[in-house]
Structures are given as C-alpha cells and as structure tokens.
Amino acid sequence: VKVFGNENNLAILVRWIAHEMFHYRKYLVSDPSYQNRQVILVTKDLNMRIKARTLGFEVQDYLSDKVIEDADLLYTGMHNVPADFWETHGDGLLTKKELAHTIYQVQGPLCDTFHVNGLVYSDELGLDAVVLKTAPGSAVLHTTVDHTHQINAIFGIVAKNREQNFALNLLMDQNIHFVTLLGQAGTGKTLLTLAAGLEQTLEKKIYQEIIMTRVTVPMGEDIGFLPGTEEEKMAPWMGALMDNLEVLIDFGNRRGDQHKENGKFKEAQTPNDWARSATQDLVRARIKVKSLNFMRGRTFLNKFVIIDEAQNLTPNQMKALITRAGPGTKIVCLGNLTQIDTPYLTEGSSGLAYVVDRFRGWNHGGHVILTRGERSPLADYANEVL
C-alpha cells in the first residue's frame, strides 16, 4: 500500500491492515487445511473493501444493522384500496357518525394488510380514512379531517395533496405521540410540522413550547468552530426553520386581513385568534433550538419536539432522542433517505428507517411518505433528473 502525505495513525493503521491481509492470504494458501475454506472480509469501509478485493479476498458489507435492503420497500403509511372495496368488504358493515366524521367497521382479506394509524384511500370511492383498530380479518376506519379547505387550515396553511392532508391529520392527533415524515426536498415536511406545532402551542395550548434539533453533519467541508451560546452555535444549521417560520408568520399576520369576495370586502373567517396577532418575537419565544450533543439525561414534558434531518442519525442516536419524551410530549422526525451525509450510514441502516420499521402499527405512532413536491417546478425537476 502506498501512503501519500504525512505518516499518521490512520495511514499506519491502513497500511498495517493491508499488510496483514496480504500475509494472511499467503498463509491460507500455504496451509493445506485452509485451502478449501472461504475467507470473507466484512467491513463498511469502502476503501478497505477495494484494497481487499485487489488482494483476492471476498468482501461483504456489514448487514446486521440494515433494516431494509431497498429504500423503495420502506413502509409508506398509505394503502390504496380497489374500487370494489365496499363490495368485497361490505359484509357486516357497521357505520357510525361522530361529529363531522364517519366510522366504518369492515371485514375482508385486505384488513390483514392494514396498520393502525395508516391511511386507507381510494380516488374512485372518494375514501380517505385512518385505521383506528385492526383484528384478524377486520378493521375500524375513521374518515380524515379535510385540511385542503381554508376552514380547516392549520396556522394559515392548507394541505395541497393527499399526503400532506394525511400528515396534518397525524400531526394534529393528540393520541399520536410519534410521527415520521419522509419525502424528497420541497414536499412540505418542515412547513407542515411547524404549522401544526405552532397551532397546538399558541392556539390550543396543548404543548408548552416547540423544541427543534438536528445532527450537525455538514454536506461539504466543515466550517470549524462557531462562537456564541448553544442556540447561536445551532443557528447556521437551522436555516430551514427560519425560512419556514417567515412563511408561517406572514400567513398568520394576513389571516385577519380583509379580502375581496364578489366585489365586496369581507373579513377573513378563521378560528385562530392567536395567528392574527402573532409577531415574530412571540412565535420565536415559543421555539427552542437545542443541540443533539446535550440531550442525554433530559426529560421533555408537554413539548412538541421536531428532529430535522433525521436520516443522518444512527439507530442508537435515534433511541437516545426518542426516550427523552415524557408525559404529554410528541416527537416528529423529518428526513429524506436520499440525502444522507453521515459517513458509513446508508438508506438501509439509517436511524430514520429503523424507527419507521419498529414503530409500524403502534397505536400511538404514525408515518407517511410525501411524494409530491410543492416547492417549485425547478426543485421538482431537479429531484427527477439529478
């Protein structure tokens, strides 16, 4: 192995490993008792795998930490039922009206594929319902709140597609304590989560404050040490928070403004009085930015916790964060498995994929993958071709 640059501990270690592999290979070849045995090097280091292959070793990736082999096989949180769903699952159908919602108790073969808090939908039937309960061969469905209409807006934000509407239903449900939102850039993960958090913190007073954190893994070269307090050090990493906060504050300030309808000015109808008078200082006072490094040992009571860029967390880090939740706390994990910056972490071994798989079907957990980009045509096209 040829080492470029100064001799350091890492270079010496790499050279020593390559040297040992070379002599170990010669030993195996010379010893007749080992000639028929297969030797495999297991490592997550790509450079080491390449060097080992040049020496004739079979090399494999470390697979025990992988949740999925292919990110396309990850649980989506949604189930599209066929147009004959009522015909095949209508025997013994029970319905119940509950305010503006309808509850269905259905029976049939597809019920065994449903998961609690998953979305069951059909364009042909006009069905959008959340699974409340499951049993062998049966399920209880609850129609969703339609957040695509302004009357059900969350802090001035309305859903632009089915996935966003389902995400808002999960975020606003007080019986759901853990939510994972996945999706490519521009699908609205951060905006929807912040809107739901502010609505339930400022207006409904369900939570005392919003706590936002993320792992500080740079996409490019590290910029070095940052001065200031914990929040000041985290500020450069929270650009997405500030961008979306400006949008939400602007929506909130305009919700009480007059608008013209049929040639006459009318007062905007909204159930949210806090949003009318929300100022930048008021909103930011209820949002705390915390570093991931100081989370161990803490307990969050009545907090709305947002973990941004969760795809860069390992399963152990994810466990350490989620177990901080105390009574009355909701944790929301946001991420995109195609944008992992942590070394040696893949789509299959990411902590985000790990918790999606482990919390699937839990009575107090929800998950959805957002597929439609709403940021701009440029961002959508870049996601497709780049």
Most confident of 81-85, 231-235, 339-343: 81-85
Q: CATH number for the domain including 86? A: 2.40.30
- Contact, 176 vs 254, CB < 8 A? no
pLDDT at position 276 is 46
pLDDT at position 293 is 79
Same domain, 179 and 75: no
Same domain, 287 and 356: yes
| Tens-digit pLDDT profile for residues 141-197 | 999 999 999 899 998 889 999 999 999 999 999 999 999 999 988 888 999 999 999
Q: Domain range holding 337? A: 153-385
Predicted confidence band of residue 248 (pLDDT cuts 50, 70, 90): confident
The kind and range of the H/E element at 16 are helix 9-30
Residue 19 lies in a domain: yes
Q: Quote the number of domains for the chain.
A: 3
Task: Tell me the three-class secondary structure of 28-60, residue by residue.
Answer: HHHCHHHCCCCCEEECCCHHHHHHHHHCCCEEE
3-state secondary structure of 181: strand
Residue 371 lies in a domain: yes
DSSP 8-state symbol, 199? I
Which of 102, 125, 143 is a domain's end point?
Answer: 143
pLDDT over 70 (residue 268): no
pLDDT at position 319 is 93
pLDDT over 90 (residue 375): no
Residue 1 lies in a domain: no
Same domain, 229 and 272: yes
Tell me what the pLDDT averaged over the chain comes to. Answer: 80
Same domain, 280 and 346: yes
Predicted confidence band of residue 91 (pLDDT cuts 50, 70, 90): confident
Task: Report d(CA 187, CA 149) in Å as an integer.
Answer: 18
Task: Report d(CA 351, CA 322) in Å as an integer.
Answer: 11
Same domain, 135 and 172: no
* pTM metric for this prediction: 0.77
pLDDT at position 205 is 92
Same domain, 114 and 158: no
Same domain, 270 and 380: yes
Of the ranges 5-14, 58-67, 225-234, which one carries the lowest mean pLDDT score?
5-14
Task: Report d(CA 85, CA 17) in Å as an integer.
Answer: 60
Task: Report d(CA 125, CA 102) in Å as an integer.
Answer: 14
Same domain, 232 and 323: yes
Task: Compute the half-sphere exposure of residue 179: CA atoms within 13 Å on the CB side of its CA.
Answer: 31
Task: Report d(CA 327, CA 207) in Å as an integer.
Answer: 11
Q: CATH number for the domain including 248? A: 3.40.50.300
Which of 79, 110, 143 is a domain's end point?
Answer: 143
Residue 31 lies in a domain: yes
Residue 295 lies in a domain: yes
Which of 143, 170, 193 is a domain's end point?
Answer: 143
Cα dihedral 256, 257, 261, 265 sign: positive
Residue 65 lies in a domain: no
* Packing angle of the helix pair 315-322, 351-358 (nearest 10 deg): 60
Residue 3 lies in a domain: no
- Contact, 124 vs 83, CB < 8 A? yes
Same domain, 38 and 75: no
Task: Report d(CA 203, CA 186) in Å as an integer.
Answer: 27
